[in-house]
Structure 1
Amino acid sequence: MKISMFLCALGAFLVGCSSTGKVSNEQLKYTQWQLTHIGKEVIPDSAISLQFIEAMQVNGFTGCNRFFGAGRIESEQLFVSNIGMTRKFCEGSINETEQMLLNMLEIGVPTKIENGDLILNGQPRLKFKSIVAG
């Protein structure tokens, strides 16, 4: 009887923890994400993506350039350091979006997983959906 009560309490605790939206290095490792929203604006068929691979290495595409760096979660924020990237020139809003995303990642951005989506709570808020590598 005591064991079943303990298991019920443990289950309730784990469900409570998973609903907070907090994200860890382990949750992000080996996942891929595609941008769906910038602020409240829906971005249909966005090419902007993030991928987390071995040892929290981050790869991505900004809509113009590919980038990579060393990721880490610290105090509920995602930081990407040592960012390297291709150097294609892009104009207008594509360049602005690229700079905004890379700046967020470099200085650190509050990050959570909410309803299966990756949320970067910067200015503006970025929402990514999970994609299956193929």
Structure 2
Amino acid sequence: MKLAFAATTALLLTACSSGLKVVESDLQHHHWNLTAIDGVAVNAELKSELEIGEHFSINGRAGCNRFFGSATLTQGVLKAETLGTTRMACAPEAQQVESAVLDTLNNGAVIKQDGQLLELKGDTHTLTYQLADWVQ
């Protein structure tokens, strides 16, 4: 009885200390809309979005410019490889969103997914996305 209790306790402690495991297939082929940066709602009219495709190709709209490239997922950290972007001038509000998104993707962010919410926690910002739909 004591051995079974000890084994169960060890298993639970290991599970709790490792956090939620991100399943790659739960991230790929989805379209996510940015809803908040650092807990503050983002203007939905900016239509900041993220799509994660096969082999972690990523693209979307940061603030007013589109971005595209690829990313890696290593030990729960999503990090963009070299991203290409369009170069349109942005209004100040859109530029703030754009800087936060590109900085977080380029520098890497710990991913936490809970159902239809996706959180990317970087060194400077935390981005919260809402699942929009499935991408082919």
**TM-score over 0.5 for the pair:** yes
| Gap regions ≥5 residues in structure 2 | 1-11
Partner of 1:7: none
| Gap regions ≥5 residues in structure 1 | 1-12
Is structure 2 residue 38 aligned with structure 1 residue 39?
Answer: yes
The AA in structure 2 aligned to 1:108 is: G
TM-score, scaled to structure 1 = 0.77
Partner of 1:92: 92
Aligned-partner Cα distance in 2 for 1:48–1:99: 12
Aligned-partner Cα distance in 2 for 1:74–1:62: 23
The AA in structure 2 aligned to 1:29 is: Q
Is structure 2 residue 67 aligned with structure 1 residue 67?
Answer: yes
Partner of 1:8: none
Partner of 1:109: 109
Q: 1:25 to 1:71 in 2, by over 3 A?
A: farther
TM-score, scaled to structure 2 = 0.76
Partner of 1:130: 131
The AA in structure 2 aligned to 1:27 is: D
Q: What is the CA RMSD across the aligned residues, in angstroms?
A: 2.2
Is structure 2 residue 52 aligned with structure 1 residue 55?
Answer: no
Aligned-partner Cα distance in 1 for 2:113–2:134: 19
CA apart distance, 1:53 = 1.3
CA apart distance, 1:117 = 0.5
The AA in structure 1 aligned to 2:28 is: K
CA apart distance, 1:133 = 4.8
- Identity within the alignment, %: 28
CA apart distance, 1:44 = 4.7
Aligned-partner Cα distance in 2 for 1:113–1:26: 12
Query: 2:63, 2:96 within 8 Å by CA — same for their partners in 1?
Result: no
Query: 2:121, 2:127 within 8 Å by CA — same for their partners in 1?
Result: yes
Structure 1 counterpart SS, 2:73 = strand
Partner of 1:5: none
